[in-house]
Structure formats: C-alpha cells, structure tokens
A and B are shown apart, each in its own frame.
Chain A
Amino acid sequence: MLTDALLLNLGYNATLVTLGAAALGLAAGATGTFLFLRKRALVSDAISHATLPGLVLAFILMVSLGGDGRALAGLMLGAAASALVGLLAVSWLTRATRLAEDAAIGAVLSVFFGLGIVLLTVVQTMSAGRQAGLESFLLGSTAGMLFADAMLITLGGVAVLACALALRRPMLMVAFDPGYAETQGIAVARIDLAIMALVMAITVVGLKIVGLILIVALLIIPAVTARFWTDKADRVVLLAGAFGGLSGYVGAAVSATAPNLPTGPIVVLVSFALFALSLFCAPGRGVLASGLRHLALQRRVHLRQGLLSMAMGQPVYERLTCQMLRRRGWMRADGVATEAGRAEAAATLRDEARWQALRASTELSDLAVRDDGLTAVAEVLTADQIAQLDARLRGPREVGA
C-alpha cells in the first residue's frame, strides 16, 4: 500500500495530492530558509495563525453572495488579506512600541487565532456551514481535492519559489549584514517585506494541504535540517527545498494510504524524521560527528601531555593517558617508559622547544598563533625554516662551549 502510494499508484486523486504537496514542500523549504537565516522564524507562526479570520470571513462572504463557499481561490484571498493585517500589526507593534518582536508575535497570533475560532463557530450555525469542512484548514486535508485546487497549489508554489530565487542575493545580504546591504543600495525594509510576503504566499498556498497550524514546520524544519549539511547559504536554500519537497511527497503519499489520515501532521513528522537523522548523522555539525571529534581531540591532548611528562622524567598517573601510552608501546605495564617511548617523548619536547624559538624569532613570530599545543611545527614551517630554528636552538650552547 505504502509502496503503491510512493510510486503514485493510488489513483488519480492521490497522485494529484502527492505532487501538489511535493511542489509546496519544495517552495516552502527554500523560502523558509531566508526567514530562518534572517532569524525571524517565529514571524511565520504569527502569519499562519492570522490567516484564519480571513479564511472564515471569505467563506461567509462567498456564501452570502450566493456562491460556493468552498472555492479555494476565494478562501486563499481572504486568508492572505487577514495574514497581511496580522503581519502589519506585528511590525507596527515592534516599531511603534518598545515591545520585543516575540511578544508582538505572541499577542497577534493568539488574538487572530481566537477571533478565527469564534468566527468558525458562527459558521457552524449557518445552514451552508455544516458541510463546509473549514476545520480541515487547521490541520490540512486532501480528501476530495479537485484538479483545479492541485494546480493552484502547484503553480502558486512554483511562482513563490521563482520569486525567492530571483531575490536570493539581496535577501541573503540582508540576512547576513543588513547595515552593509543598505550601503549597497538595497532597501533593507523592502527586502524584509518581500521575505514576509513570500512566506505569507506559501502559507496561503499550503493551507489546504498542510493546514495553518503546521505550515510553520514546513517553512522552518527543512532549513534547520539543511543547515546541518552545509556551510554555504546557497546550498542551504537548495537542500532545504529538497528536504521540504521530499517531506511533502512522502507525507502526502503516506496520508493517502488510509482514509482520514490528516496530511499536515504526517508531512511534519516526515520532515522531523529528516531533521532527527541530520541532527545525529550529519558530518561536521551533527551531534555524533562533533562528539567523536571532541573525543579524538581529548585523546590527542592526553597523549601529548603524557609524552611531555615522560620527557621531563615525571611519572604519569592519569588513567586514559597511561592506557594510550601503553597501547602504543611507549610505556611498560609498570609505568616505565620504553625505548620507543623515550624517543617519542624527546621528539615532542623538541617540537615544544621549536615553538618557543619560533615565538622569539622576528621573521616567524607571526606564525605563533598557530600554536595550539597540538600542531607540530613541521605542519606550519618548511624544512628550511625548521633548520633555521634548530640552528638558533643550538646557537647559544655552542657559544657557551
């Protein structure tokens, strides 16, 4: 069943939904990255919750005008309008008062969502409201999605993605260094607005599939996931798009395998699985990799300190150090240094002496910053430069003799 879903073999409607969700995830992941890098991820939460009153009002308006209350385009328009009001409220509150942005977001989010729920209750009492199924916009639902709806979602997602990619340079510059961006003639306030507008568009486009409560996950989780894998902003955007698209595709396919499985939560769970995988397994920033690096560093430090102690004729007691020295055959079981151990210890001591000579030398002292206690002089200097240092080390003694 699941393989059928993933291979788009579950029929026309499921295929439509799955492809739409993939397009939405791709656009949301890439667009959300800019918001994440601008460190304003929470704003998307305010925007998405602020869509609800507009969504319900649009339904009421369309019904009272004698139309079909469930027309997706009309609902999207209403959602966008009230999201815009919410967005303006957040930015006005932050600018005009000394309220921090997170407080403003909290206030706007809850008030708009509360208002939306009240309006939703009102709709339930209307005769047309009973079959409206507006609650499905909270968590997303793909049951009974029309071809036109799927096209609207896909095209909307692609359009937002195109805008985001076109504006990627100024958006990344503003995210990294807004002051400098301004001096390059980039209107920072307008670029910020553009980021918000794109996020708003994604939210509105994603209402049907993922729902307004969870769309924030599709905007932010892929970006956070992608950040584990790369240190280049361009690649974070691309990877986040890929992770988002994958989450949308797999999530929608899974939710199509059984009736009444909500799409939004499953899409979010899939994207969380990708996040968890990255958190632990990514090279570089992943938890496992950095833990292993820390252990390796610890062992190198212990070994170096042990060798230096040996060179100075001091006994080594520390358990890990002894263990490592013994394993390399540099120390006997009774704690006495072996032949090889003494040679290695002498080499380490010579390296320390070279670093000291380097610090004292006029031409090479700039390189002293490379001395972290572990780096060998040979990794920093050429053979000629080392010979020069050694001459300096021997120098005074010869004069003395």
Chain B
Amino acid sequence: MHGTLELATQDGRTARDGAEASPLALRGMTVSYGDQPVVFSVDMTVQEGAMTAIIGPNGAGKSTLLKAALGIVTPLAGRATVYGQPLAQARDRIAYVPQRASVDWDFPTEVLDVVMMGLYRELGLLRRVRPRHVARAMECLARVGMQDFADRQIGQLSGGQQQRVFLARALAQGADLYLLDEPFAGVDAATEKAIIDVLKDLKSEGKTVVAVHHDLSTVQAYFDRVFLINRRRMGEGTVAQAFTAAALQATYGGRLAEGQIAQLALDA
C-alpha cells in the first residue's frame, strides 16, 4: 500500500520533505465521484502558521480536496497526515468550516446549540454540559460578533450570520489547523471583514488557516500562500511566487480572460 502511494505522487522528493511537521500533508490524493476522478494525484504541504488559499475554477475539486483531507469523502488513493499523524489521531487539532449551503437551515436548532457541537469531542455522548462549556461557546460567538444571537433559530439568520456561526463552531474546538470551504461566498461586507479579522487573529496566535477561495481580487490582501488546483495540482507557494499571471492562465485555462488577470495587477 505504502509503495504504490509513493509512486503515485508527482514530486515525491519535495513531498516527503517537511511532511513530518506540516499541519496538513496530502500525498497522491485521488478522489472520484462515479467513474471519473475529480481530484487526481494531488500533493499538498501546508505551511504552519500561514494562511493558504486554495484556488481554481469551478469543478476543479477544491472542496473535494478539503473533504478528502478531512476524511468526509474516502479517497480512491492517497493519504493525508495532520501534524505528521494519521487523521484519526489528530482530530482534536483540526477544525472544519463547511460551505453554508451544505446544511438545511430550517433544522430545529438555535445558534448556541450549533456552536456547542464544536465541543462534541470534549462532551462525548453523555457528559453533562457545564457553565464553562456554555461560557466558551459564548466567547466564540463574541469573537465573530454574534453573541446577541445565541438563542435565535438558525433559519432566522442572514447568510453572513450563518457563516459566522459556522466559524464560531470551529473556534470552539480550539484546534490548531482551520480548514474553511468558501467562507466568503455570498456574505455581506461586514461579515467578510469579521471573518478575515478572526482568521488573521488565528494566524497571529500561530494557528494555520487553509481556505477554499473563489475571489481572486482579494487573494493578495488576505492570504500568504496559494495552492492552485484544477483536478491536478497546478502550483503552490507564497502569493508572490505562485499567484502569477502564467500560473493562473494555466490553472483556469480559457475560462479566465486575460483582462481579468491584468485587473489583478500581478507583478509577473
């Protein structure tokens, strides 16, 4: 098993280096829905303490890569390590913020209950919820500016507020690595700012942030590093190194007009 996976990697040499310490290292990750791979043999080494954007066109496998890294979908081949350990042993160090549209917001639950889900690994099946647990959940809500909404039914929230509640739930876990799936998709400006402030705080605390991101115009302002994907790994590095006109053209193909790339004013 081990041997075949090593063979599947595209650049085995750099891949093996640094995988030990990396918050998230993917090797030869291949995922298929039905008969067609949507992610093919992708290697990724996330740098600790950095904010990384995963970018690529629609259907490029960005969300799928994240889900495979988290064990939500089972990869056809490849493996993920979190801080050098298999996923199952590192669950406490990793927090996930799914796409807002992935759940039914008419579900009978209130904002605080959603955030409390972030404490599941501490509470388990039967442990009693104590005031300190509630206090921690409230603290996380306050960090995203949602403390006044704790007892609202989640269906009454705006899209941006829902996104912030999901972020608060991830914060409640107290993890070291944060994986976010399109956290800025369809949110208002106030929410976008609130979220990016929290993410930058996390970074300053030495935490690692990886986000699937769709808005190329904010990549330089928000992120340190980029990971380009279009089914295959198309590039990885600091924003200055990897977020270049040539790399974007290669990743997006004809779908990204040259004018758009020029608008980003890249110093390529």
Listed in ascending order, the chain A residues whose CB lies under 8 Å from chain B are 37, 39, 166-167, 169-170, 172-173, 175-177, 179-180, 182-186, 227, 230-233, 235-236, 366, 369
Q: Are B121 and A232 in contact (CB under 8 A)?
A: no
Assembly CA distance A321 to B260 (angstroms): 51
Q: Which of B71, B95, B117, B123 has the most CB of A within 10 A?
A: B117
Q: Are B109 and A185 in contact (CB under 8 A)?
A: no
Contact mask B105-131 → A, CB, 8 Å, 1/0? 001111001100100110111100000
Q: Which of B94, B107, B158, B169 contacts A37 (CB 8 A)?
A: B107
- Indicate whether B265 reaches chain A with its CB closer than 8 angstroms: no
Q: Closest Cβ of chain B: how far from A381's Cβ, in Å?
A: 15
Contacts of B155 in A (CB 8 A): 231
Q: Are B117 and A231 in contact (CB under 8 A)?
A: no
Interface members, chain B 173-223 (any A CB < 8 Å): 188, 190
User: Can you identify 11 A-B contacts, CB atoms within 8 angstroms?
Assistant: A166-B125, A167-B125, A170-B120, A179-B98, A182-B70, A182-B71, A183-B72, A183-B94, A184-B91, A231-B108, A369-B190
Q: Closest Cβ of chain A: how far from B86's Cβ, in Å?
A: 12
Q: Which of A170, A180, A186, A369 contacts B98 (CB 8 A)?
A: A180
Q: Closest Cβ of chain A: how far from B119's Cβ, in Å?
A: 10
Q: Which of A39, A231, A232, A366 has the most CB of B within 10 A?
A: A231
Extra inter-chain contacts (16) besides given A37-B108, A185-B88, A231-B109, CB under 8 Å: A169-B123, A169-B124, A170-B125, A173-B120, A177-B98, A177-B117, A179-B70, A180-B96, A180-B98, A180-B117, A182-B70, A182-B71, A183-B96, A185-B91, A232-B113, A236-B108
Assembly CA distance A130 to B124 (angstroms): 52
Q: Are B153 and A231 in contact (CB under 8 A)?
A: yes
Contacts of B257 in A (CB 8 A): none
Assembly CA distance A173 to B109 (angstroms): 11
Q: Are B96 and A179 in contact (CB under 8 A)?
A: yes
Assembly CA distance A179 to B74 (angstroms): 12
Assembly CA distance A143 to B155 (angstroms): 47
Assembly CA distance A366 to B190 (angstroms): 7
Assembly CA distance A166 to B110 (angstroms): 21
Assembly CA distance A169 to B119 (angstroms): 11
Assembly CA distance A366 to B191 (angstroms): 10
Known: A37-B107, A231-B153, A232-B108. A183 touches B91 (CB 8 A): yes
Contacts of B88 in A (CB 8 A): 185
Q: Closest Cβ of chain A: how far from B163's Cβ, in Å?
A: 14
Q: Are B109 and A179 in contact (CB under 8 A)?
A: no
Assembly CA distance A235 to B108 (angstroms): 9
Q: Closest Cβ of chain B: how far from A311's Cβ, in Å?
A: 30
Contacts of A175 in B (CB 8 A): 107
Q: Are B120 and A232 in contact (CB under 8 A)?
A: no
Assembly CA distance A232 to B126 (angstroms): 18
Q: Closest Cβ of chain B: how far from A178's Cβ, in Å?
A: 8
